[in-house]
Chain A
Amino acid sequence: MSANVPNIDQLVRSEYKYGFVSEIDTDSLPPGINEEVIREISARKGEPQFLLEWRLKAYRHWTTLKEPHWAKAVYPPIDYQAISYYAAPRSKARYSSMDEVDPELLKTFEKLGIPLSERARLAGVAVDAVMDSVSVATTFQKELEQYGIIFCSFSEAVRNHPDLVEKYLGSVVPYTDNFFASLNSAVFSDGSFCYIPKGVRCPMELSTYFRINAAKTGQFERTLIVADEGSRVSYLEGCTAPIRDENQLHAAVVELVALEGAEIKYSTVQNWYPGDREGRGGIYNFVTKRGVCKGRRSKISWTQVETGSAITWKYPSCVLLGEESVGEFYSVAVTNNRQQADTGTKMIHIGRNTRSTIVSKGISAGEGQNSYRGLVVMKKSAANARNFSQCDSLLIGDRCGAHTFPWIQVMNPTATVEHEATTSKIGEDQIFYCNQRGISRQDAVNMIVNGFCKEVFRELPMEFAVEAQKLLSVTLEGSVG
């Protein structure tokens, strides 16, 4: 009698609306990686010697490493010689004003709802837009300069602030860190750089928007944020990519440094192309993100909403070095169709009285596989350190999976570690209950999912919390009928 009522499977189905390709003339290197390619990337960017050498060291180290496969994700071997490691919109390398930017490029960001021009002013968010491997535009730089805040593309930082880059680059994620971080260190093309001077509270949200456009290229950007003593910054990154049949590799590195009393809030709304319903195409998002709370009473807070990518492999982490420093990780990860996510965090407690909180919400629909993988370490020196972890999984339908791999190491007897976990399922009975009160299936699922995620959404800057909710409902559209 209800043949026309679609079932749970159908509700998580929806189209990826950022899948368009922009007709932009691209300057890219032929596929393949070797020392010559790295020298070429560095030369094209006019980099100082120290950076070229660092890249080469990273490359040589990378050649000794094997691609890691401990994550709970299945995918065919990646041919690293088939990827192009550099793609840039062909036109001026630097724009002196927005008027010089290729209108097609501006249109792209306009379509994505990224405010680069007048709208940026209204939104009050400073944006650095990265297309393929190159930073396209950074807004609000002048205004931020008044506060001594540096917010620019990584390339610009290399040119204008080489001392800061040399001091901090690789200080949190060394080029030897892991396979993908080494690869990134060798070939990274651009990214965002941010420095907040002593005692300054950044007066607006800073945001980087990443867009992969060119085919058969990898995106390897690097973000470095340094918050000097007593400063504060809230930072947001967003990402999308066109629909393509082949998988594309995104191997980024993010490093955060918080000095004494500084606070960094880093939020991600990740919406890379997830592949189609059968699992064709989509981005491999293999990202290393780590922050170090260097100084006393510093704080780093990661918030992520992961809805895209064919495979997600990322563990935004905090090294809690400074006494009484605080690390936080709030995560919503959604997998639908054939998406696979292996994500979580590492909280490394070194300083005394350090505290960390982990709240992870995994949502699996379709045939999605969602894993939480976490490490909490209490080093010998971490007297009275505390961690609280909460990992909740929500299943929609009966062909998806949720997995939890918490790892806890305690070497100090005064440390406290708590871990809570739940798994629940959106059942047909819950949906019918909502239906019987006049609420449609789609609204019922949105309501339940939003309720499930609200502790994380609360951590996002206001306007992005709204966006995240919308994104989630679009991602899950059609997963229940």
Chain B
Amino acid sequence: MQPILEIDQLEAGVQGKQILKGISLKIYPGEMHAIMGPNGSGKSTLASILAGRDGYEIIRGRVLYQGRNLLELSPEDRAREGVFLAFQYPVEIPGVNSAYFLKAALNEVRKYRGMPELDAIEFLALVKEKIKLLDLDEELLKRPVNVGFSGGEKKRNEVLQMAVLEPRLAVLDETDSGLDIDALKIVANGVNCLRKPDNAQLVITHYQRLLDHIVPDKVHVLVDGRIVMSAGKELALELESKGYDWIVREAKRVN
């Protein structure tokens, strides 16, 4: 079976500074992987590179998405191909109504795939269905994108967008940060509901607590730009009790 995402010996940096020092990873359809690691280990850099954010240099290695070179696609084409990034810090767009924004996004994706665009009525029916999943107020759709949203609302809104756009590969960048326990459960529940046999998720997190609610197939530990350990979900628990220092020491000893 072809992996949805295959990262092979990826080295990359920003402004001349190398951050990722050779990452390899394969995610197959139906799988959810988690990447954990201390601050500054390169987790968000990896997410940014997958989404195509400007300013990163690829030093070597490759990234295949459904067998295609992901890195040669523009950010919008990656999105249209089904790569979704739930932002760590969702961006506010004053003056642009949330529903309008999401409808435009969905129709871009549909157009790209040769599907008919949804009109306002069809779209609203769809979004009202999805919004229940995230326990969000419908009023939110009338407000400008992320403007005046609480931290929790912003993160839930990211997952709402994910639910509407139905990506093949979703990268969740610290979606759990800044959430209280109730919001965390809602977000986790949303993400779980979106798991399908034909899609994949890559969850980036600093803390294990999200993994109490979302159960990954694999956990990778990223330290200083390298994946130093990959194992099943029990690795997250070990990290929680022993802390990252333990694994950093382990990694050093191995090297």
Q: Residues of A at under 8 Å CB distance from B?
A: 1-2, 4-5, 424, 427-430, 432-441, 443, 447-448, 450-452, 454
Which of B56, B90, B96 lies in contact with A448, CB distance below 8 A?
B96
B13 to chain A, nearest CB (A): 11
Structural contact, B54 and A436, CB atoms closer than 8 A = no
A residues in contact with B71, CB < 8 Å: 1
**Interface-central residue, A2, A4, A427, by most chain B CB under 10 Å:** A2
A/B interface sample: 5 pairs, CB < 8 A:
A433-B91, A436-B51, A437-B101, A439-B105, A448-B93
A residues in contact with B80, CB < 8 Å: 438
A124 to chain B, nearest CB (A): 27
On whether A435 and B75 interact (CB within 8 A), knowing A2-B52, A447-B101, A451-B144, the answer reads yes
A residues in contact with B79, CB < 8 Å: 435-438
A443 to chain B, nearest CB (A): 7
Which of B51, B54, B94, B112 lies in contact with A424, CB distance below 8 A?
B94
Q: Does B95 contact A (CB under 8 A)?
A: yes
A2 to B95, CA, bound (A): 28
Which of A428, A437, A438, A450 lies in contact with B54, CB distance below 8 A?
A428
Question: Size range of the interface on B?
Answer: 35 or more
A residues in contact with B52, CB < 8 Å: 1-2, 435-436
Q: Is the interface of A mostly helix, strand, loop or mixed?
A: helix
B137-180 interface mask toward A, CB cutoff 8 Å, 1 = contact, 0 = none?
A: 00000001000000000000000010001000000000000000
A448 to B146, CA, bound (A): 13
A residues in contact with B144, CB < 8 Å: 451
Structural contact, A439 and B108, CB atoms closer than 8 A = yes
Q: Does B85 contact A (CB under 8 A)?
A: yes
Q: Does B97 contact A (CB under 8 A)?
A: yes
A429 to B88, CA, bound (A): 12
Chain B's closest residue to A428 (CB) is B54
On whether A435 and B74 interact (CB within 8 A), knowing A429-B91, A430-B93, the answer reads yes
On whether A439 and B96 interact (CB within 8 A), knowing A429-B91, A433-B87, the answer reads no
Chain A's closest residue to B146 (CB) is A433
On whether A443 and B95 interact (CB within 8 A), knowing A5-B74, A432-B75, the answer reads no
Structural contact, B165 and A437, CB atoms closer than 8 A = yes
A452 to B71, CA, bound (A): 33
B188-224 interface mask toward A, CB cutoff 8 Å, 1 = contact, 0 = none?
A: 0000000000000000000000000000000000000
**Interface-central residue, A430, A438, A443, by most chain B CB under 10 Å:** A438
Chain B's closest residue to A441 (CB) is B76
B74-111 interface mask toward A, CB cutoff 8 Å, 1 = contact, 0 = none?
A: 11101110001101001111111100111011001100
Which of B56, B90, B95 lies in contact with A433, CB distance below 8 A?
B90
A442 to chain B, nearest CB (A): 10
Structural contact, A438 and B109, CB atoms closer than 8 A = yes
A347 to chain B, nearest CB (A): 25
A430 to B91, CA, bound (A): 6
B residues in contact with A2, CB < 8 Å: 52, 54, 74-75
